[in-house]
Amino acid sequence: MLRFLKEHPAAVALILTAVVAVLSRFVPDSYSASVVGLAFLGATYALAIAGRSDAEVRASALSLGGVFESQPLNAERMLRDSARALAFALAAAMLIFPAFVWGFVFWWHPTHAFHFQQPASWNDELLGQALVIALPEEAFYRGYLMHAFDAKSTRRVRLLGVPVGSSLLWTSSLFAIGHLATEPNPARLAVFFPALVFGWLRLKTGGIGAAVLFHVFCNVFASTLGRGYGLWH
């Protein structure tokens, strides 16, 4: 069974998708996101970190500045990697968010002008998005899963200066299917497009840090637009 799962990462993703879909329906709403996040983190740890060498963890883009490596933490390395991840995430946001605003307005057709509304708690908003949603999802999809697909195919094409394989399309597609499974609404498949950016950032930087940060920026930005246009609270 373990050998089958190792050789078929898509099967792993679909099994985990089924598990989190069940969890999201039967766990109380106040705990649902946390339980789903723990499921992604647990699967990632078991599949790509536990018992793996430092080189294998780095190949899966999961070292996070050395946090998941066996060697002692190096503050300089962590600061350098964090700064690089933040720079790429901010650059992606500045390039993409203006077009996202246009697409958001086109899709939702808000009936009044935007008025900034703060969330109930910025701590809950930012930490919840980072630790409960973005980190678990990026660790599994752009960490374990992308590396697993890349290990099965060496074919690459250059996309904006980065060698990209079929793993980018596979992980983005499975990411979209996972969102549809937890919330059966065809609009959820639209996450395929930001997933392409998450994957490109992972390939460009060699880690999931930039993808995690940009994921957080995307979710917080979308929530801010939704509140500001009075579409949700």
Residue ranges per domain, the chain?
A: 2-228
Residue 67 pLDDT level (bands cut at 50, 70, 90): confident
pLDDT at 201: 97
Reply yes or no on whether the pLDDT at 75 is more than 70. yes
Report the 10 Å Cβ neighbour count for 139.
27
* Residues 108-158 pLDDT 10s: 999 989 999 999 888 889 999 999 999 999 999 999 999 999 988 888 898
The single-letter code of the amino acid at 19 is: V
In this structure, the dihedral spanned by the alpha carbons of residues 139, 197, 220 and 216, taken in order and rounded to 10 degrees, is: 30
- Residue 55 in tokens: 């080189």
Residue 220 pLDDT level (bands cut at 50, 70, 90): very high
pLDDT at 141: 97
Q: How far apart are CA 57 and CA 34, in angstroms?
A: 24
pLDDT at 233: 66
The set of residues, in sequence order, having a beta carbon less than 8 Å from that of 165 and lying 6+ positions away, is: 149, 150, 153, 154, 155, 156, 157
φ and ψ of 8, to 5 deg? -130, 75
Percent of the chain past pLDDT 90, that is, above it, reads: 68
Q: How far apart are CA 127 and CA 119, in angstroms?
A: 13
